[in-house]
Amino acid sequence: MFLKALEIYGFKSFPDKTRLEFDHGFTAVVGPNGSGKSNLSDAMRWVLGEQSSKSLRGAKMQDVIFGGTQARSPMGFAQVALVIDNADGKLAGMQAEEVTVLRKLYRSGESEYRINGQAVRLKDVHELFMDTGLGKDGYSIISQGKISEIVSAKSEQRREIFEEAAGIAKYRYKKNEAERKLERAEENLLRLRDILQEVE
Residues near ligand ATP, by CB under 6 A: 12-13, 31, 33-39, 63, 65-67
31 appears as a binding residue in the annotation? no
37 appears as a binding residue in the annotation? yes
Minimum distance from CB of 15 to ligand ATP (Å)?
8
Phi, psi angle pair for 182, to nearest 5°: -60, -45
Alpha carbon distance, N-terminus to C-terminus of the chain: 60
Nearer to ligand ATP, 110 or 156 (CB): 110
Nearer to ligand ATP, 54 or 154 (CB): 54
Nearer to ligand ATP, 66 or 77 (CB): 66
Contact 139, 164 (CB under 8 A): yes
Minimum distance from CB of 74 to ligand ATP (Å)?
7
What DSSP string runs through 20-49? EE--SS-------TTSSHHHHHHHHHHHTT
Minimum distance from CB of 128 to ligand ATP (Å)?
26
34 appears as a binding residue in the annotation? yes
Nearer to ligand ATP, 72 or 159 (CB): 72
Which residue, among 138, 108, 117, has the nearest Cα to 48 in the 3D structure?
A: 138
Minimum distance from CB of 31 to ligand ATP (Å)?
5
86 appears as a binding residue in the annotation? no
4 appears as a binding residue in the annotation? no
105: amino acid identity, one letter: L
CA gap 96, 153 in Å, rounded:
38
Alpha helices by DSSP H, listed for the chain, are 37-47, 122-129, 146-152, 155-166, 169-199
The residues pairing with 81 across neighbouring beta strands, listed in sequence order, are 7, 102
33 appears as a binding residue in the annotation? yes
Minimum distance from CB of 22 to ligand ATP (Å)?
18
| Annotated binding-site positions for ATP | 32-39
- Residue numbers in the known binding site are 32-39
